[in-house]
Amino acid sequence: MSGFLGNAMIIIPIIAGGLTSLILSKTFKEKEKVDKGFEFIYFKLTYRRKMIRSLTSLPIVIIALLIIYYYSNWSLEFYITFVLLVLLIGLAQFIYNFKKWKEVVEQ
């Protein structure tokens, strides 16, 4: 697909995900966080649990990247850039949650 429809198939999920993230972030701000057991909603977790979820979701992300590589017709250069961006965002999220967890522990 190309043109408007192809762009909309990329942009609409990004906007929807961003809005959902913003709404959930505001909804669960200043509420009690879960540090034990399973919690489906990311925004209900403590920073320690968010950090652990970042690590445990890594295999799922790698499998998703391999599936994208197999089914997409992206150039290798674009795909490598995409993978590096996804991994960089994941690393930044892990480091952020680690630092915030340590700040909370030290208080």
pLDDT tens for 53-106 read: 999 999 999 999 999 999 888 889 989 999 999 999 999 999 999 999 999 888
pLDDT at 96: 95
Record the pTM.
0.78
CB-based contact 52:38 (threshold 8 Å): no
**pLDDT band, very low/low/confident/very high, at 52 (cuts 50, 70, 90):** very high
pLDDT at 11: 81
Q: Is 30 left (phi over 0), alpha (psi -120 to 50) or beta?
A: left
pLDDT at 66: 94
What is the rounded CA–CA span in Å between residue 100 and residue 92?
12
